[in-house]
């Protein structure tokens, strides 16, 4: 065999290994970062745009659906596509008798993003998102249903004080771990209170 053949063979093997590594790496969903609350459509409208259905209740696979999804994602500062599912929770987090919205969105294959929206009068605002609100939940079961959870915690001004528990998963080289972060809402700011690794085990 000639030297040029060996060179070509090495280049081919290198290209295959690079492609394999890229396909195995977690894909990131990029979100426009904001430093101040940003006006957005109502959360129920965003959910309807993300998951439109026909009158018979089945998913609407059409250009209208794609356009609606892109419009909702653009309003949230997301340029990616591939929405798989979305979930909306409405809960009064700060005890002011006005419910906030937690909008979780899952993208292919395993990316999950959480947006916290707060209302002021008739206008809804997207709050700045800490890094804990995004996850490549490759090793989590039902990531959309378990990623974000609201729990009551003590009392604040005689109103229930509620915390956001965010759970993510990750891993590699045979080890997986599950993390938990705890956040609280203060005015129009999400504050991180605690984060830790809940469990670590072999994949």
pLDDT tens digit string along 121-150?
999 999 998 888 888 877 666 667 778 889
If you ran DSSP here, which 8-state letter would residue 59 be given?
A: B
What are the domain boundaries of the chain? 33-202
Report whether the peptide linkage leading into residue 109 is cis, meaning its omega lies within 30 degrees of zero.
yes
The burial class, CB within 10 Å (0-12 / 13-18 / 19+), for 128 is middle
Other C-beta atoms closer than 10 Å to the C-beta of 59 total 10
Residue 88, both tokens = 């909306």
pLDDT for res 2: 58
pLDDT for res 51: 86
pLDDT for res 18: 33
SS3 157: coil
Q: What is the mean pLDDT of each run of 10 residues along the chain (203 residues)?
A: 52 37 45 90 95 67 83 90 88 90 88 93 94 77 78 64 83 76 90 82 68
């Amino acid at each position: 065999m000639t030297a040029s053949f060996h060179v070509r063979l090495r280049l081919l093997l290198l290209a295959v290994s690079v492609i394999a590594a890229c396909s195995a790496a977690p894909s990131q969903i990029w979100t426009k970062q904001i430093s101040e609350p940003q006006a957005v459509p109502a959360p129920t409208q965003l959910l309807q745009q993300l998951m439109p259905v026909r009158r018979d209740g089945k998913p609407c696979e059409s250009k209208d659906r794609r356009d609606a999804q892109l419009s909702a994602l653009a309003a949230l500062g997301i340029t990616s596509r591939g929405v798989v599912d979305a979930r909306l929770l409405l809960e009064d987090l700060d005890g002011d008798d006005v419910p906030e919205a937690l909008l979780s969105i899952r993208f292919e294959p395993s990316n999950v993003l959480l947006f916290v929206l707060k209302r002021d009068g008739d206008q809804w605002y997207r709050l700045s998102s800490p890094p804990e609100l995004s996850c490549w939940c490759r090793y989590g079961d039902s990531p959309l249903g378990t990623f974000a959870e609201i729990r009551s915690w003590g009392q604040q001004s005689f109103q229930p004080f509620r915390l956001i528990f965010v759970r993510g998963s990750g891993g590699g080289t045979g080890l997986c771990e599950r993390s938990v972060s705890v956040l609280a809402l203060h005015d129009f700011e999400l504050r991180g209170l605690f984060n830790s690794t809940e469990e670590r085990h072999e994949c």
